[in-house]
Amino acid sequence: MTAQETIQKTVEDNDVVLFMKGNKMMPQCGFSSRVAGVLNFMGVEFHDVNVLADADIRQGIKDFSDWPTIPQLYVKGEFVGGCDIITEMTLSGELDTLFEANGVVFDKEKAEQVRAANA
């Protein structure tokens, strides 16, 4: 299976996928840590893909999304964005709306706590 096929299958088979440096329990960069931290804090079940473990996937995800940076978040097979976009969406409540619209379970109270702490 090619990197593109692997990526396609991964985003199709999982409701929420984070392509990141490291993994959800041990991120390897600040940007990946921020996004994984938000998802973990909000109680979102997500599949993590460590792009550092596979150079083909690391380049392949950039080609797949036509987005040059990592991390990259996918919800229900759709590319959502990287760290800055996810941060903005979290603080504005748009991420809650996206999760609700797609049936992704998350802790709304924790999402509110994130917003309150960053107000």
Report the C-alpha gap between 20 and 118 in whole angstroms. Answer: 23
Is 29 marked within a binding site?
Answer: yes
At 119 the pLDDT is 81
Report the C-alpha gap between 49 and 7 in whole angstroms. Answer: 9
Three-state DSSP class for residue 2: coil
48: amino acid identity, one letter: D
CATH class of 3-117: alpha beta
- Structural domain spans, the chain: 3-117
pLDDT digits (tens, 9 = 90+) for 60-112: 999 999 999 999 999 999 999 999 999 999 999 999 999 999 999 999 999 99
Residue 75: which H helix or E strand, with range?
strand 72-75
Distances (CA, A) of 108 to 67, 95, 102: 29, 11, 15
